């Protein structure tokens, strides 16, 4: 590497870092990558002339955010709100709450399925064009209970899958 010192050029021995040549226009000709907390590297831009330093820095921050976004995502999970016991023949309202971090055209809850005694009683399908109204949402189902019933619900993320089913047992009160 060549550095300027009092108008004289001298050769500086290489440091323990990686120097990568990169053409970013007339303003920059080199990026030194040093280990640090940001994606394992610190970007030290050497300015030759001009003012693209801020644009490059902001671009690197946006790239870092875009690459780490999947780390913030999670699997879709559910909880069920229902009475623990009812009289035979009584109609109840079952509320299924869906929890998921992410609701964009690329990452969303794809489906929610509700079963009563292993028979499907409700299903909601979503797509990139028809997504849920929010990351966390609820759906209600009316069901007439004749015998002891197990309600089971599960939601699936289009990228990460399901956190597993939730279940509730509804007993018959005598």
> For the structural domain made of 77-172, what CATH number should be given?
2.60.40.730
Residue 38's pLDDT is 43
Cα separation of 114 and 29, whole Å?
A: 59
Residue 171 has pLDDT above 80, yes or no: yes
109 alpha-carbon distance from chain centroid = 11
Residue 123 has pLDDT above 80, yes or no: yes
Cα distances (Å, whole numbers) of residue 169 to 15, 120, 147, 153, 156: 67, 16, 11, 12, 22
Of 44 and 149, the structure prediction assigns the larger pLDDT to: 149
Residues 30-61: pLDDT tens digits? 444 443 434 444 445 454 444 577 778 888 88
Q: Most distant CA pair in the chain: distance in Å?
A: 98
- Show me where the domains of the chain are located: 2-72, 77-172
Residue 101's pLDDT is 87
Structure tokens at 73: 């995502």
Residue 35's pLDDT is 38
* Mean pLDDT in residue range 11-34: 45
Residues 48-103: pLDDT tens digits? 444 577 778 888 888 777 666 555 568 899 999 999 999 999 999 999 999 998 88
For 13-22, 48-57, 111-120, which range has the lowest pLDDT when averaged over its residues?
A: 13-22
What pTM value is reported for the model?
0.59
Residue 9's pLDDT is 56
* Mean pLDDT in residue range 18-33: 43
């Amino acid at each position: 590497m060549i550095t300027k010192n009092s108008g004289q050029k001298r050769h500086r021995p290489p440091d323990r870092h990686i120097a990568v040549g990169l053409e970013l226009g007339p303003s920059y000709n080199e990026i030194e990558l040093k280990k640090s907390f940001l994606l394992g590297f610190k970007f030290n831009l050497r300015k030759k002339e001009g003012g693209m330093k801020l644009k490059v820095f902001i671009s690197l921050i946006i790239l870092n955010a875009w690459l780490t976004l999947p780390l913030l995502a999670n699997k879709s999970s559910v909880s069920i709100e229902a009475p623990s016991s009812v009289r035979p023949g009584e109609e109840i309202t079952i509320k299924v709450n869906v929890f998921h971090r992410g609701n964009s055209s690329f990452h969303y809850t794809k489906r929610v399925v509700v079963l009563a005694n292993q028979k499907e009683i409700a299903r909601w399908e979503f797509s990139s064009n028809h997504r849920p109204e929010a990351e966390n949402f609820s759906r209600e189902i009316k069901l007439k209970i004749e015998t002891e019933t197990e309600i089971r619900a599960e939601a699936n993320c289009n990228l990460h899958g399901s956190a597993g089913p939730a279940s509730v047992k509804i007993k018959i009160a005598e």
